[in-house]
């Protein structure tokens, strides 16, 4: 018996009327956002004109609000 079938049968045995299993799609967008936020944080910690310019450039192109917030925080350091 497959793991999927075992999970569905177990859920039905627990009393659920429906049970399903799906795949987890890659979270590539989340990873990209995390990298953006971490890079902004690291550049803010580094400081200096080149780091500030890099964060400002990235901020002008960023669409994710949490990444923008991290970039703005980095510029405030």
Q: What is the pLDDT of residues 22-49, one digit of tens each?
A: 777 777 777 777 888 888 889 988 889 9
Task: Give the list of residues 6+ apart from residue 8 with CB closer than 8 angstroms, or none.
Answer: 19, 20, 21
Quick: pLDDT tens for 49-76: 999 999 999 999 988 888 889 889 989 8
For the chain, domain boundaries: 3-76
Closest by CA to 52, choosing from 69, 72, 35, is 72
What Cα–Cα distance (Å) separates residue 66 from each residue in 35, 41, 59, 60?
12, 12, 11, 14
């Amino acid at each position: 018996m497959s793991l999927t079938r075992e999970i569905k049968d177990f859920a039905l045995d627990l009393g659920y009327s429906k049970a399903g299993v799906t795949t987890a799609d890659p979270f590539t967008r989340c990873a990209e956002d995390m990298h953006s936020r971490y890079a902004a944080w690291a550049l803010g910690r580094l400081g200096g004109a080149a780091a500030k310019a890099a964060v400002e450039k990235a901020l002008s192109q960023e669409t994710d609000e949490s990444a923008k917030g991290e970039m703005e925080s980095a510029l405030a350091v």
